[in-house]
Structure 1
Amino acid sequence: MKIVECVPNFSEGRRMDVVERILEAIRSVVGVKILDSSSDASHNRTVVTFVGEPQGVKEAAFRAAQMAAELIDMENHHGEHPRIGATDVIPLIPISGVTMDECVELARELGQEIGEKLSIPVFLYEEAAVKPKRKNLANVRRGEYEGLKEAIKEPERHPDFGPSQMHPTAGATAVGARPPLVAYNINLNTNDLEIAKAIAKTIRGSSGGFSSIKALGVLIEETNTAQVTINVCNFREVSLARVFETVMSEAERFGVTITGSEIVGLVPMEALLDAATFYLRLDGFQPDQVLEKRL
């Protein structure tokens, strides 16, 4: 079977009735299976992971974006995470029997459909990008929803599909194709946001850190704690253990410690095995030594 994974991020993490209606839109497509849904009130964001055959996944992503556009008003949205629209990003990931090129084509088809049928401006990013600067999602999101309302009118910020003006309530959407990534957050025992920002700057690729790491410093309102929120875009290049150790070392420079970390959504087993091998100092450990992998 050809299997594609889709991990759309929606700008709603507090009204669970709205989240449920978006999930129902995804479930309405036969053959598509939701693997995970994670909502965060502070980020005011929900990350959904679902899989299926390419065309089914594309249809489910479109229906979810359509539902989000009906239910989420970006004029009233506030949260810690950067965002440009009700459906902020829709990445497509090849899992089995599908090439990255096929996911790129699928992403472009989906982007065109959202732009034309929903009148939502769509920006192509990562492997699906047709403009080099848009390969990096941070460049697409620059200015976020509020800033993009004016910037989108500039020729260099025109979308790849849809109108060159923001949808009045749904904003804009980024659609792309990429390898699996790990959404990984590390919490600090401080409420000093500047410390989290400084650590994030140290580790992210755009600031001279790890090339496959994207990171921001945010303040979690519920707990009044600073957090380094991280996208590990290639865990084979930079392991979770290396990321954790680097953040811990940088935190010590500021006299703070790590209180805990979390993975948002799903994570490849290989990424966790790498961390286990590192911390347990296992020699010659092989993935097929995992009991569940043999069953």
Structure 2
Amino acid sequence: MNELVFKGANDQALTSSLLVAEKFGKNHSDVVRAIDNIIAKDTVIQCDAKLRTHTMFFEYSEDVPQPNGGVKPARRYAMNRDGFTLLAMGFTGDKALQFKLDYISAFNKMEETIKSGGYLVPHSFSEALILAANQQKQIEEQQKQISAMSTEIVEMKKKTDYLEIILSSKGTVVTTQIAQDYGMSAKAFNKILAENGIQRKVNGQWILYAPYMSKGYVHSKSVNITHRDGRPDVIMNTEWTQRGRLFIYETLKRKDILPLIERAS
């Protein structure tokens, strides 16, 4: 993890909403929302101008790379010791106290470093280049972490979207409908299900193998047909329940066979 506290403008010891979220294991959006609420309520002591929230929190934006290219501005907050103290008052949990103590120690250390003049300041052109290179490396590493997190969020959203489609459907579906989710024909999709030991063909109808027959994944539906010579007949078609559809999704996902909605753009 990065240093919890850093030197800001006017020789202030500061931390950021990103660092707080990482340390306390919280979603960054929840931390930003908590700070927004503090600022909106302005619950600090009104008689002391030095303790107004606008002196504790400093909002800024950062361009976050997107998985599909380009960047998107994201809200961030920097905060001093007082701002962190207000924010952390609402944090609870088994490890919250230790995390707060870690932050207090980090603020004390940074404030002492700034006070003693021990903060790293380049004294030559070569030192300035080295410092700039190190800072750039840290920025690049942070951007990689942000990009990886953004990609993970997008992938989770795709999975959630497809599962919502399944769970919101109440009726049965034919194989052709599921095959379309994967960009395949029913013939090709049935072949994949057969190759993965899910079903086999008996008397012209696809039948599940024994381990899956009692799971409620499918049911058979009789369909009236007319042969070319005019003879009426009845055939049996296999239809999938939503439970069966979910079973197919989870089974094929383990084989890296994904529906179109989850594939990389």
Write 1 or 2 for the structure with the bigger share of strand. Answer: 1
Structure of higher CA gyration radius:
2
Q: TM-score interval w.r.t. the shorter chain?
A: under 0.3
TM-score where L is the length of structure 2: 0.20
Write 1 or 2 for the structure with the bigger share of helix. Answer: 2
